[in-house]
A = this chain, B = another copy of it.
Amino acid sequence: MLLQILNIVGIVAFAASGALVGVRKQLDVFGICVVGATTGIGGGILRDLLLGVHPPDSLSKWPNITASVATSLVVFFAHPVLDRIWSAVVLFDALGMGLFAAGGATVALQHGSGALGGVLIGATAAIGGGVIRDMLVNEVPLLLQRDLYALPALLGALLVVVCESIDLPQGISLIAGTAAATGLRCLALWQRWQLPRARVKD
């Protein structure tokens, strides 16, 4: 039950980030809904494809797509109240990323993915929606532009796998994984943490 609720919250957060990117790109209302909906349910569809869930939950169940489209419409009408759109994109993206990392790892373990599969499929679910969003609007993915994006996703999914392996209740592992992933990402953004770059001679 908690898993479904957090899944919907993650979809709403990602859909909001996608719709706001659409607003920035000056798409029309339908384009905004398409980018918002794709971002919202994209990570879950990738997860289901990798796990062999046919058809993916987000394409066969009403709540996911409804939440995605409704969020996009709210963003379309309400975005003028947001002072700084880009900050909102990044924050919603961080929240969705954490929720999908923890939820994706949990779903993967339930489908017998094993520990490594849990970590990697969780991280893929967390990162996938945002990468699809950025590729749709033809930008270099946030994943590659900003520091500490994949690392928090992997950490959140790993924490869920560890919690499950020591038989902690699902609620605790979901909350711990989400908090770790979203928290580390926000901390890194706030503190402007950066990893070393390569020096290029070419």
Contact = CB atoms under 8 A, between A and B. Distances in A.
A113 B60 contact: yes
Nearest to A59: B120
Chain A binding surface SS class: helix
Contacts of A29: 195-198
Nearest to A75: B198
Interface stretch (A8-16, A129-137, A171-179): A129-137
A10 B139 CA distance: 29
A30 B150 contact: yes
Contact of A198 (B27, B111, B150): B27
Nearest to A127: B34
Interface in A158-175: none
Contacts of A183: none
Nearest to A27: B144
Given A23-B200, A140-B137, A148 B30 contact: yes
A25 interface: yes
A86 B201 CA distance: 11
B138 A55 contact: no
A23 to B, nearest CB: 4
A108 interface: yes
A105 interface: no
User: 7 closest pairs, A vs B, by CB?
Assistant: A52-B54, A28-B195, A60-B117, A23-B198, A59-B120, A138-B140, A31-B144
20 contacts: A24-B200, A26-B197, A26-B200, A27-B144, A29-B195, A29-B197, A29-B198, A30-B195, A31-B150, A34-B150, A49-B49, A50-B54, A50-B55, A50-B59, A51-B55, A55-B111, A62-B116, A65-B120, A80-B199, A80-B201
Given A30-B148, A55-B108, A59-B113, 11 more contacts: A22-B198, A26-B200, A29-B195, A50-B55, A55-B121, A59-B116, A59-B117, A60-B117, A65-B120, A135-B135, A138-B140
